[in-house]
Structure 1
Amino acid sequence: MTSPQVMLNLDGYTDLPPGKIAAIVTYLEMRSPPPMSPAEAPGTWTLQRLNVDHSRYRTLYRRIGEPWLWFSRVVMPDEELSGILDDPKVEAYALHDGTDDIGLLELDFRPEREVELAFLGLAPGIIGKGAGRFLMSEAIRRAFAQPIDRFFVHTCSLDHPAALTFYMRAGFTPYRRAIEVSDDPRLQGFLPRECAPQIPVIADL
């Protein structure tokens, strides 16, 4: 069924149909690596490639993303995800603490002379322990290990409240803003109805 078209009000509120969610997306970029000391990781932490293990990737993506309604890779068919992860210019890593996967880092080197920070996230309970700083340090190091013009990323208002400031502190500069409207993946059955309770489910009555 085709969703009704809604005219965006650029000077006030715009009502969304039931079943839709909206987010403010902020795009950021980094033209050169900032001066920073490499983040030290505990001896038990390792970065392990995920590209060939799609099931492990999906499990970690869900564990990290469900509290913030990450859904892009959840709704993605297996063939499409394989086309990304199997590409030699995409690097996906799990941050492993010796017992479990606690973080996700994904870098996309496919754009010409650019690198996208596709995903950087931490499992619940890990934020504040230095893992994010470690992953960002690794991301910047790997991105600028080859000659590129730009390292870029985007985040949105549905993500962790500290995500945007984290990227800015790391040296990214905001340059564009957009509104993303999509179907609520919980109502479509892609994510549990109870996940991300801070974002209310509003369905047809």
Structure 2
Amino acid sequence: MLPDGYSDVPAGKLAAVVTHLEMRKPPQLGPDPEQPGITLAHVETPDTAWYRDLYARVGTDWLWDSRLRMAESDLAAILTNPDVEVYAVMKDGRAEGLLELDFREEGACELAFFGLTPAMVGNGTGRWLMNRAIARAWSREGHAPIGRFWVHTCTLDSPQALNFYIRSGFVPVKRQVEVFDDPRLTGVLPETAAPQVPILRA
């Protein structure tokens, strides 16, 4: 347990407050914004290079790095697992958003990754994508129904993320502090990424 008061974070590290959220039954879906020219494609066997490119374009501003530093074989094992579903938001033939649903835990689904490239933000596409994520998680054909749909977000993510999840029907249930190497100093992400988060060098 962390003590009350301030705790030092070593130089070269980042600290984030992580909030875990869940829903135990399907919520009433919000309005479904029209998205002309946008489709959601199920990518059944994602190529790891394609996946890393999309993951980076969606997550670099928020310092997503876990899938970029993962060993190729480990990432491929996840992406080809039949209980992991990867979807791409497609516009003009190009993937501009990522939805990853992880059903590997029996009776549950994790909203493992959810996000859009900067060009897609602010047009209602996030709500459109969340409506499809919720519908898919709770109605997966040919499998036993889930009893829990969950996600986690942190203070390094978009400032709108936490309230967006709550408005979507997720309920906060747990809070943690995560300390980890700054990916801009390990070479996983460029040092120009996420300028809103200062780099503290060792």
TM range (shorter): over 0.9
Q: Is the 1:33–1:140 contact (alpha carbons within 8 Å) kept by the matching residues of 2?
A: yes
The match for 2:20 is: 27
Let me know the Cα RMSD of the aligned residues. 1.4
Of the candidates 89, 94, 105, which is equivalent to residue 100 of structure 1? 94
Structure 1 position 68 matched with structure 2 position 66: no
Q: Is the 8 A contact 1:52 1:86 kept in 2?
A: yes
Distance 1:81 1:117 in 2: 17
Deviates more, 1:48-57 or 1:162-171: 48-57
Structure 2 residue aligned with 1:44: 37
Output the TM-score relative to the length of structure 2.
Answer: 0.93
Counterpart contact for 1:103–1:131, Cα < 8 Å: no
Please give the residue correspondences for 1:28-177 in structure 2 after superposition, counting only pairs within 5 Å: 28-37=21-30, 39-50=32-43, 51-146=45-140, 147-177=145-175
**Do the aligned residues in 2 keep the contact of 1:46 with 1:98 (CA within 8 Å)?**
no
**Matched residues in 2 for 1:122 and 1:56: separation?**
15
Kindly provide the amino acid, as one letter, of the partner of residue 130 in structure 1. Answer: G
Question: 1:97: how far off?
Answer: 1.2
The structure-2 alpha-carbon separation of the partners of 1:94 and 1:134, relative to structure 1 and needing over 3 Å to count, comes to same
Larger mean CA deviation between 93-102 and 163-172 belongs to 93-102
Per-residue deviation, 1:181: 0.3
Runs (4+) off by over 3 Å: none
| Secondary structure in 1 matching 2:163 | helix
Give the letter aligned to residue 161 of structure 2. A
CA displacement, residues 112-171 of structure 1 (integer Å, 9 cap, x when unaligned)? 010000010010132111111111001100010041110000000000000000000000
Q: Give the percent of matched residue pairs that are identical in Structure 1 and Structure 2.
A: 51
Structure 2 unaligned segments of length 5 or more: list them: none
User: For structure 1, which segment, 158-167 or 195-204, has the greater mean C-alpha deviation from structure 2 after superposition?
Assistant: 195-204
Count matched residues.
197
| CA apart distance, 1:111 | 0.6
Contact 2:102 2:110 in 1 (8 A): yes
Unaligned runs of 5+ in 1: 1-7
Secondary structure at the counterpart of residue 192 of structure 2: coil
Does the 8 A contact of 1:109 with 1:115 survive in 2? yes
Using the size of structure 1 for normalisation, the TM-score is 0.92
Kindly provide the amino acid, as one letter, of the partner of residue 139 in structure 2.
A
